[in-house]
Amino acid sequence: MYSLINGYMTPEEFLTGVRKPFIDEVTDNWCMLEGTMKHEMIQSLFPEYEQEIRVEKVVNGLTIVGKCDIKTPNEIWELKTSWNFMEKAKKTAIFQIKVYLSLFEMEVGRVFQPVETTPSRVIKFGKSYKKIENRYLKELGSYKRNDEWFLKEIAKLGVIDKKITEYYGRVAK
């Protein structure tokens, strides 16, 4: 949703699922694999919570689908992996958690970065590099449910959906 609404993805890329690689195909795939492994490691530490929960809702005629990483009794958690140490959640992650809060009808959501460091691993911390010898979840932000904001974003998506439908309706004729 974020990419479509903010112009980072064309309707054609959305409809076909074909996008240009961010870096190159091999590096992109490696990043995805590493992110998946980190997600699974973190999720294995919280077996008491629901994980990879999918929800599908029709909102203003649009089917919106979300899949959260971890659902506790009171919160939605999203894990964001990166080779870089993040100070705060990216706009895309904030958008995602806010959408999930409305979809899952939860009041609080938090975005975390799994930080895995070992004595042999050096990470960039601000402008300098440091060795850190532990593993932890760094909270990048905590967010509250805002259904009014959610409905405004769905309305923007509805405009895009209408344009796509009209365009492809004309092309098909």
pLDDT at position 105 is 96
pLDDT at 121 over 60: no
What does the mean pLDDT of the chain come to?
82
How far is residue 148's CA from residue 82's CA, in Å, rounded to a whole number?
31
C-alpha pair distances (Å), 131 with each of 43, 80, 83, 120, 144? 25, 21, 14, 8, 34
Instruction: Name the more confident of 105 and 38.
Output: 105
CB atoms within 10 A of CB 87: 10
pTM, two decimal places: 0.78
User: pLDDT above 90 covers what percent of the chain?
Assistant: 45
User: pLDDT above 70 covers what percent of the chain?
Assistant: 75
Tens-digit pLDDT profile for residues 31-45: 778 878 888 888 888
pLDDT at position 32 is 77
How far is residue 72's CA from residue 156's CA, in Å, rounded to a whole number?
30
Tens-digit pLDDT profile for residues 46-70: 889 999 999 999 999 999 999 999 9
pLDDT at position 167 is 76
Question: What CATH class is the domain 2-172?
Answer: alpha beta
pLDDT at position 40 is 85
- Greatest mean pLDDT among 1-5, 45-49, 90-94, 134-138 lies in 90-94
- Segment 127-152 mean pLDDT: 80
How far is residue 171's CA from residue 73's CA, in Å, rounded to a whole number?
48
